[in-house]
């Protein structure tokens, strides 16, 4: 990559380039390394070509043109249009050959109202954008279709990631579809069976390392330097471009009216960075007139961003030794922290942390609205309750929770919760018993006759009223 005049990398239609977030060095799309060769910091995709003498225009289109084109594509069966990522291709980096796109019809995920959760949180307009409704059950698919397609364009035979589970499941699926091999590094004993089984089924070479996620990331950094494998963690800038589309879909769903708050769980902080980037870009392109406040919620035991913001205003990362039952976000040294800080500053969002019991309760409350999600996603509702109490979120403001993973990703957590086993023998046992018991629905073992079942039914009916 070289420092160069942006006009030298302009391509017809989508005009994008890679840019270092620290030193600003730029280079052409499609680089094989996902770090800045000059200073080693993270790269992002920038769109210098959107700037015209008459303002900002993506692919030569004004805001109204983009809106109607994107909507129209929803009725198409063409693979690129049917993808909830690639139907927004005017605001994504362009592949040299669109046949390189690997798609599983990701994106186009539902937005649900959450009336019960709205009542417990104390807000009247509460929605969930459920990214767990993607093909492999998590938000990772929207990023993976983009980054895996660039891997194919780059001619890579191997792709690799370190993961708390969802990235590996997604990467393994997209690699398999593309005929690429995949290498997965996961912390031994710290990812759910659901996620692990997906990676195995899609044929990944799966290494369980005797370390945590941060340790896996360190090992992988060395492996990619020594072997010709393409890194598909969220430090890969194309991952974030794909993940941007969830924010665009959300705006489209509300007819380009901007919700007041968007709340997202924070782990390695790629997703918050991606969604924030999308909102800022949509405003630059004139598709929206203001930004939602994007807030990031972490588990108390994996609260690196919370501490970084509170203790030094986001200047240098404070790493932590991560510990939480929400294994998806059990991350102590988030790679994309600088990008996330930038998003918090741009949108005026908050950071908050929640306890294990608060998260477990919130997960059951989301389930009670008929939606369900994995534990890491539930920190959003738990965090919202705190932000409402602090007055940061007002009662009549509209709020969207980003649910990142499907309920079925971690049935073990859900079963333990309902059987009352989740916090047994932990310091939270007493608190958990008093707070969680009303939400628990343990399975009932009965003799096989109608009388006993009817009794259970009558008992349940009495308790309800
Ligand atoms: N929610 C779920 C369900 C996740 O799997 C993750 C991250 C996050 C939230 C946090 O998102 O890292 O972009 O801040 N999972 C990664 C993985 C780390 O390997 O699957 P983030």
How confident is residue 7, by pLDDT bands cut at 50, 70 and 90? very low
Which pLDDT belongs to residue 130? Answer: 98
- Say how many Å lie between the CA of residue 164 and the centre of ligand 1: 7
pLDDT at position 245 over 80: yes
How far does residue 459's CA lie from ligand 1's centre (Å)?
41
Report the nearest atom of ligand 1 relative to the CA of 274.
13
- How far does the centroid of ligand 1 lie from the alpha carbon of residue 269, in Å? 8
- CA atoms of 112 and 382, how far apart (whole Å): 18
pLDDT at position 15 is 82
Contact 349, 343 (CB under 8 A): yes
Average pLDDT for residues 40-49, to the nearest whole number? 95
Candidate of 329, 359, 363, 406 to mutate for ligand 1, largest count of ligand atoms within 8 Å of Cβ: 329
Mean pLDDT, to the nearest integer, of 139-159? 97
Strands across the sheet containing 181-187: 205-209, 181-187, 158-162, 229-231
Q: What is the largest CA-CA distance in the chain?
A: 80
Weakest mean pLDDT among 57-66, 117-126, 339-348, 394-403: 57-66
Whose C-alpha lies nearest to ligand 1, atom 19?
A: 163
- Least confident stretch, 13-27, 147-161, 282-296: 13-27
Cβ neighbours of residue 416 closer than 8 Å, sequence gap 6 or more:
422
pLDDT at 76 over 50: yes
Burial classification of residue 289, based on how many CB atoms lie within 10 Å of its CB (0-12 exposed, 13-18 middle, 19 or more buried): exposed
Ligand 1 atom with minimal separation from the 162 CA: 19
Q: Are 137 and 407 in contact (CB under 8 A)?
A: no
More confident residue, 88 or 27: 88
How large a percentage of the chain has pLDDT more than 70? 96
Report the pLDDT value the prediction gives residue 61, as an integer from 0 to 100.
87
Of 23, 22, 43, 47, nearest in space to 32 by CA: 43
| 331 C-beta neighbours (distance < 10 Å), count | 26
3-state secondary structure of 25: coil
Atom index in ligand 1 nearest the CA of residue 233 equals 19
pLDDT (tens digit per residue) in 189-240: 999 999 999 999 999 999 999 999 999 999 999 999 999 999 999 999 999 9
- Sheet of strand 351-354, all strands in order from the earlier edge strand to the far edge: 111-113, 125-130, 398-403, 261-265, 293-299, 351-354
**Nearest of 144, 163, 162 to residue 152 by alpha carbon:** 144
Report the alpha-carbon distance of residue 251 to residue 395 in Å, rounded: 21
Give CA–CA dist 212/207, Å, rounded: 13
Summarize pLDDT for 416-465 with one digit per residue, the tens: 999 999 999 999 999 999 999 999 999 999 999 999 999 999 999 998 75
Average pLDDT over residues 236-259: 98
Please tell me the predicted confidence (pLDDT) of residue 10: 39
Cα 83 to Cα 110: distance, rounded to the nearest angstrom: 14
Give the pLDDT score at 164.
Answer: 96
286 Cβ contact list (under 8 Å, min separation 6): 55, 56, 62, 63
Task: Please list every protein residue whose CB sits less than 6 Å from any atom of ligand 1.
Answer: 138, 140, 163-167, 234, 265-272, 328-329, 374, 376-377, 404-405
Q: What is the mean pLDDT of residues 104-111?
A: 98
Reading the block at residue 104, the tokens are 């599983």
- Residue (of 354, 334, 438, 332) closest to 401 by Cα position: 354
CA–centroid distance, residue 271 to ligand 1 (Å):
8
Query: Rounded mean pLDDT of 66-89?
Result: 97
pLDDT at 13 over 60: no
pTM over 0.85: yes
């Amino acid at each position: 990559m070289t420092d160069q005049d942006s006009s030298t990398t302009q391509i017809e239609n989508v005009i994008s380039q890679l840019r270092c977030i620290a030193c600003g060095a730029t280079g052409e799309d499609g680089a094989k390394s996902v770090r800045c060769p000059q200073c080693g910091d993270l790269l992002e995709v920038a769109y210098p070509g959107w700037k015209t003498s008459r303002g900002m225009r993506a692919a030569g289109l004004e805001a109204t043109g983009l809106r109607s084109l994107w909507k129209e594509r929803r009725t198409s069966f063409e693979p690129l249009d049917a993808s909830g990522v690639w139907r927004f291709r005017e605001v994504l980096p362009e592949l040299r050959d669109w046949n390189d796109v690997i798609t599983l019809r990701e994106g186009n995920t539902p937005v649900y109202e959450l009336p019960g959760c709205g009542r417990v949180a104390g807000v009247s307009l509460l929605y969930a954008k459920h990214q767990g409704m993607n093909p492999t059950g998590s938000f990772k698919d929207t990023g993976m279709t983009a980054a895996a397609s660039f891997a194919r364009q780059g001619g890579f035979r191997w792709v690799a990631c370190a993961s708390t589970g969802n990235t590996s499941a997604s990467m393994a699926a997209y690699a398999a579809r593309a005929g690429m091999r995949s290498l997965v590094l996961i912390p031994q004993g710290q990812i759910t069976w659901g996620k692990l089984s997906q990676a195995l089924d899609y044929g990944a070479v799966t290494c369980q390392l005797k370390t945590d996620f941060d340790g896996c990331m360190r090992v992988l950094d060395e492996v990619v330097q020594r072997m010709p494998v393409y890194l598909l963690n969220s430090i890969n800038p194309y991952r974030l471009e794909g993940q941007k589309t969830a924010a665009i879909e959300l705006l489209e769903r509300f007819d380009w009216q901007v919700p007041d708050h968007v709340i997202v769980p924070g782990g390695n902080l790629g997703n918050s960075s991606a969604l924030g980037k999308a909102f800022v870009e949509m405003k630059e392109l004139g598709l929206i007139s203001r930004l939602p406040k994007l807030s990031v919620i972490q588990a108390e035991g994996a609260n690196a961003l919370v501490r970084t913001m509170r203790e030094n205003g986001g200047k240098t990362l404070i790493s932590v030794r991560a510990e939480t039952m929400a294994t998806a976000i059990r991350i102590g040294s988030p790679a994309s922290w600088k990008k996330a800080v930038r998003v918090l500053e741009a949108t005026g969002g908050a950071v908050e942390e929640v306890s294990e019991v608060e998260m477990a309760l919130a997960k059951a409350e989301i389930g009670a609205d008929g939606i369900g999600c994995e534990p890491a996603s539930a920190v959003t509702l738990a965090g919202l309750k705190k932000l409402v109490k602090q007055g940061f979120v007002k009662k009549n403001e509209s709020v969207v929770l980003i649910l990142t993973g499907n309920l079925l990703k971690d049935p073990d957590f859900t079963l333990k919760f309902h059987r009352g086993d989740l916090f047994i023998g932990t310091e939270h046992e007493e608190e958990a018993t008093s707070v969680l018991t009303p939400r628990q629905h343990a399975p009932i073992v009965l003799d096989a006759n109608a009388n006993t079942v009817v009794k259970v039914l009558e008992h349940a009916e009495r308790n309800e009223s």
